[in-house]
Chain A
Amino acid sequence: MSLNNYYEEEDFEQQTRLNRNVLRRIISLARPHWRWVLGFLVLVTASTLFDSYFTYLSKRILDEGIIQQNTPVVIKLLTIYGGLIVIQASCVFGFIYLVGVLGERIRYDLRQQMFIHLQELSLSYYSRTPVGWIMARVTSDTERVAELITWGTLDATWGAMSLITSMIFMLIINWKLALIVFATLPILVYIGIEFRKRILSQFRMVRKLNSKITASFNENITGVRVVKALVRERENMREFSQLTGDMYATAFRAAWLSALFLPVVQLISALAVAIVLYLSGIQVNSGGMSVGGIHAFVSYITFMMWPIQDLARVFAEMQHAIASAERIFSLIDSHPDVADRSGAYDPGSIRGDIEFDHVTFYYDSDPPVLENFNLEVRRGETIALVGPTGGGKTTIVNLLCRFYEPKRGSIRIGGRDYRDFSLHSIQSRIGVVLQTPHLFSGTIRENLRYGRLNATDEEIETAAKLVGAHEFIMRFEKGYDEQVGEGGNLLSVGQKQLISLARAVLAKPEIFVMDEATSSVDTLTEALIQKGIAVLLKDCTSFIIAHRLSTIKRADRILVIENGKIAEMGTHADLLRQRGKYYQLYTRQFRHQMEQTLGAFDELSGMQPLSS
């Protein structure tokens, strides 16, 4: 929750090209629902007419009824009054319903539109855009834009119409005094907007400080062990107290600015009332103003502060809503870097030899990660990629999965440039297991079914059994229907890995890509994972960024990738005999991995044989 707020405003400004047509595009959001907009505009206008007319009725009751001592007129006018109240209430019902539901609808539409677009954007977009930023666009910006289109428009219409109708009635009653009242209007509107702007910016600062306070709490609680160990309590308290001090000052300022606004407006309108009373008092003998007229003027003038408050608020918030809209449109307008070429087709299968032909790739404008990279892989082969971090292993599999495309050169599958195929035809046939397994909230079964949506429960269980996940799943109270929690955080890392493996098995991929996890799991799980991998490798062409010795040894070919080039290539035995880079890597990894077993004391007694 706190992180979203961080990105709410200018913290992370993407290069938003200023779009002249923002306002037009905002309006176009409401166009499909123009009947609704028209409906609420008509109803709110009617409602303001009634409001002003009520005051006018009151005036007539006084002048024509009470002063003239005419009871039937009073009864007649009050009957109209009562009837109009009911009619007005149905207008109010109508516009609240229309504007509110329309607002929800526009929020819905905008979120839907953004989400669909986000699904198409390439990984390059995600790598340069923080998740929190995107979240804020989809959540708070849609909120603000929908608010402007609906309640903003409504309030502005209400405010403007209220002012206009009151002005008309005042003109009818006494045009000279009315003109004097109008003179104060620009002052009131100006003051209103200036106030609102300041209040709004104070409240934005309050929100920002608030998320900082939440972040402080969060950090101090999650890091409480370190805080205690380093006896940082006093220092932290001092820092936190500064933060709450800022918060106090800002929130206080926001509150007193808000508290000052209405009194100032009230005071100015009181001045107007005083002038009107004074002048009408002078005119009494010349018959300038009736008692009812006085009453109406006082009511109209004191009522004026509400439309002014609303107009000022809408106007102040409009700028921010437009900025929000700009950010939304910038997201919707961004093009995916990787997309289907025209005429892209589904080849039906992507089994076949894979060839990297003089592939060059770089991220953004960084120096190339791969340069003139060549590799031929026969169908069904298992390739292990090893080598230092940053050498280019991940880039190779990213390109293979077509998360990115080569900047120069080409990748061919079955002899055809893979850009001739549709993205979906490739990615739906590649099974990917990532280093940090990502699960979705929901049950284990739902997560497994992610691999193949139409898989039956039996197929799901078979897949889970194949990778050896079945046992631990059955140990849960609800078995396959156990909830995994947000991001799968109710499961251990090893369990998540097993489930992501089973998910990939279920997908029956034709090409299998795996980034092996380095984090240690207990030996039993480790053995299960190995078994699962073996199942997967059986009839796929596979690329594995390998850390486990058993996986490396099982590969048909091992590639040592260094600085974007193949430093060594061959089978395990070949490369060991060479006594080169692979030999060093392997012996070190061997010792390391064996020593790791030390951590698993529980299995100490029944230790597995060390070599697989």
Chain B
Amino acid sequence: MSIPATILSFDLKNIQSTNRLIGLWRLLTGFRLKYLIATLSLGIAAAAKTATYLLLRYFVDNFFVNQFNPLPLWTIAAGFVILALVEGGFSFLSGRLAAQTSEGITRRLRNYLFDHIQHLSFSYHRQMETGELIQRATSDVDAIRRFFADQAINVGRIVMLFIINFIALLKLNVTLAFLSIVIIPLIMLISVQFFKRVSKAYEAYQEQDASLSTTLQENLTGVRVVKAFARQQYEIQKFERDNWEKYQRGKRLLKMHSLFWPISDTLCGLQMVVGFLVAAMMAIQGVITPGSYLAYVGLVVWIIFPIRNLGRLIVQASSGMISYQRVIEIIREEREPLDEGDYQPGHGIRGEIIFENVCFEYEHDNIVLKDISFQCKPGQVIALLGSTGSGKTTLVNLLPRFFDYTSGRILLDGVELKRYPRRYLRQQIGIVEQEPFLFSRSIRENIIYSVGRDVPQQEIENVARAAAIHDVILSFPNRYDTMIGEKGVTLSGGQKQRVAIARTLLKNPRILILDDSTSSVDVETEAEIREALNNLMRNRTTFIIAHRIQSIMNADLILVMDQGRIVQKGTHEELLTQGGFYQKIFDIQTRIEEELEREIASVA
């Protein structure tokens, strides 16, 4: 069974509603008929069960009590089997349809959220915590799934069981029927109260479970520290405290259960006994037949006991509604329109860039970039210098339109940047970050990640060679198929960077953004990265966030930034004559060599 594409692609933007129940109803779009049939099937199954007891009544009254047999015996026996078939068949049908609905809705919701989240703007991701987002996309979605798979449909089941069996009881005897449900409001009340408390106690238990896991994990990952300080005993005590607390909370939870079930058992049981007594008296007085008594004994169980579960379902359903709220908050956010824009030349771009008085602010009055103006020709190298927070990163983030500038303009090949669709633009731009993010896939998949299609091995190896990572890859157990991350190899910072370079080489962008840092790199591998970078920069307009003198000296244009402004710009030679910031920076270079000379001379 699969879900029709039209239902799967339903735009969940439409499910927003301030009323959570209406929202959940809208979430059912495309599955409503199925879900309705699923619920009705449960009704039919319940009715079949009730009919079984009525058939039993008929059987006993006609065959045993009156000894008058209007129907042949075999039809009665067949009737039982048929009713069982109906009951089983419809409850199976209901289960199937309900599963199709809940799993279908969940799949659609997961897909939508996944796509939605990856289309949300940079500003959104900046301020939203990763863990929070993941939790909403997983646990909250699962709570919604349970709402449809379990809570909503089972509330329906219990209500229908009650209604159908109650009608049957009314048919048997009205007084008896009403006498049999006296306790039900009390049971419901107790059950709701109990499950409210128990779900709190359960949360406390789960919380302690999480903190026990944290303690364990920190101990395991910090095993060297534990051993180095010989703190085993201390750690054992710490773990014991958490472990004991979990035991205590588990005990509390169990005490609640061990009280609720027998107490509610007793209440339900005594209600039944009262019903039996009245029914038996009626049977003896001839108000009802023995067959009716028999049917009554069978039916009343299905009215009283299921009610206990109603409390659980109601309490859990309310958490499902809270989850809906939390998911909707994500869906409400606007997507970044990737294809908005009217200019996308088929021949690709050349890479001539002009900034004219560009300003950018995240929120109003929080100016991050101010009056940025400069220009560069295709293939030139632009180095950005400045302290953390000076605006270098924000400036390069404007190019792929991760953020849109708020005033001034940027021209790419003479055309306003905002006219290029983001998708097109980003295909033309490559980014190599300081700490590149790799995915837990094979190395091959990480390299071809940038093109999203299969690429011949030869081509992959070519870029890996150019990125000076080919030999490293060959040293891994499964070569290009080696997994990166927990289940495979852990790459060093420099190796990651070179895989990212290979990835970018394969993408072959016209414009390159480079965070030129080797902070986490062994001195030995620096030269290799240097070479890989040179290969990458060839014939591309390159923006370098510079940390090293080499990259500055070769740049065609150097922008020295401070507090969101360009304080100096020009080539290395020009800036040297200007004095100021740049002069100071460059002085370091000469000072380093002088210091080194002096150092070596001093020991000689």
Contacts and interface: CB of A to CB of B under 8 A. Distances in A.
B254 to A, nearest CB: 3
Interface in B560-591: 581, 584-585, 588-589, 591
B265 A576 contact: no
Contacts of B430: 229
Contacts of B63: 281, 284
Contacts of A53: none
A403 B227 contact: yes
A136 to B, nearest CB: 11
A527 B168 CA distance: 86
A10 interface: no
Contact of B280 (A61, A118, A249, A453): A61
B452 A232 contact: yes
Given A85-B266, A240-B111, A229 B429 contact: yes
A11 B231 CA distance: 32
Interface string A472-489: 000000000000001100
Given A119-B236, A298-B56, A440-B222, A267 B88 contact: yes
B58 to A, nearest CB: 11
A319 interface: no
A455 interface: no
A248 interface: yes
Given A281-B76, A573-B603, A598-B548, A260 B92 contact: yes
Interface stretch (A71-79, A172-180, A363-371, A412-420): A71-79
A71 B524 CA distance: 100
Contacts of B255: 97
A409 interface: no
Contact of A215 (B246, B254, B440): B440
A92 to B, nearest CB: 4
B293 interface: yes
A97 B94 CA distance: 36
| Chain B binding surface SS class | helix
B263 A89 contact: yes
Contact of A266 (B87, B106, B290): B87
B592 A222 contact: no
Contacts of A264: 88
B213 A66 contact: no
Given A58-B297, A218-B130, A126 B426 contact: no
Nearest to B225: A438
B73 A282 contact: yes
Contacts of A450: 225, 229, 231, 234
Nearest to A61: B280
B35 to A, nearest CB: 14
Contacts of B163: none
B119 A81 contact: no
A16 interface: no
A44 interface: no
Interface string B455-484: 000000000000000000000000000000
A251 B103 contact: yes
A389 B522 contact: yes
A62 interface: yes
A592 B584 CA distance: 18
B250 A81 contact: no
B107 A119 contact: no
B144 to A, nearest CB: 14
Contacts of B219: 115, 118-119
A247 B111 CA distance: 12
A123 B595 CA distance: 43
Interface string A432-447: 1010001011000000
Interface in A122-160: 123, 126, 130-132, 134-135, 138-139
B596 A590 contact: yes
A336 B118 CA distance: 47
B387 interface: yes
A134 B213 CA distance: 11
Interface stretch (B19-27, B193-201, B309-317, B431-439): B431-439
A375 interface: no
The residue in A62, A120, A231 that gathers the most chain B C-beta atoms within 10 A of its C-beta is: A231
Contact of B276 (A78, A100, A231, A428): A78
Nearest to B273: A82
A510 B487 CA distance: 39
Contacts of A271: 81, 84
A38 interface: no
Interface residues on A, range: 35 or more
A259 B125 CA distance: 41
A571 to B, nearest CB: 9
B99 A120 contact: no
A389 B386 CA distance: 32
B149 interface: yes
B380 to A, nearest CB: 21
Contact of B437 (A226, A235, A249): A226
- Interface centre among B83, B214, B218, B549, by most A CB within 10 Å? B218
Contact of B220 (A134, A424, A432): A134
A265 B247 CA distance: 38
B294 to A, nearest CB: 5
Interface size class of B (residues with CB under 8 A): 35 or more
Given A231-B427, A295-B294, A601 B220 contact: no
A229 B400 contact: yes
Contacts of B213: 4, 135, 139
B228 A430 contact: yes
A220 B217 contact: no
B489 interface: no
Interface string A577-604: 1000000010111111011111111101
A93 to B, nearest CB: 4
A70 B73 CA distance: 30
A566 to B, nearest CB: 19
B588 A229 contact: no
A262 B91 contact: yes
Nearest to A422: B230
Nearest to B67: A284
B115 interface: yes
Contact of A131 (B111, B220, B247): B220
Interface in B475-505: 486-487, 503
Contacts of B94: 259
A457 interface: no
A126 B239 CA distance: 18
B104 interface: yes
A573 B503 CA distance: 45
Contacts of A42: none
A81 B81 contact: no
A604 B581 CA distance: 8
B232 interface: yes
Contacts of A430: 228
Interface string A260-304: 101110110011011101100110110000110011001100000
Contacts of A592: 518, 523, 526
Contact of B433 (A131, A225, A281): A225
A239 to B, nearest CB: 10
Contacts of A518: 519-520, 522
A612 B517 CA distance: 24
Nearest to B217: A135
A30 to B, nearest CB: 16
Interface string B10-29: 00000000000000000000
A115 B243 CA distance: 10
Contact of B221 (A4, A89, A131, A229): A131
Contact of A81 (B215, B244, B273, B524): B273
30 contacts: A70-B284, A71-B281, A74-B277, A74-B280, A78-B273, A78-B277, A89-B263, A97-B255, A100-B258, A104-B247, A112-B240, A118-B220, A131-B217, A139-B209, A227-B118, A231-B426, A240-B114, A248-B2, A249-B1, A270-B83, A270-B88, A291-B60, A389-B522, A428-B229, A430-B228, A441-B218, A513-B228, A591-B596, A599-B517, A611-B598
Give 3 closest A-B pairs by Cβ, nearest first: A259-B95, A263-B88, A270-B84
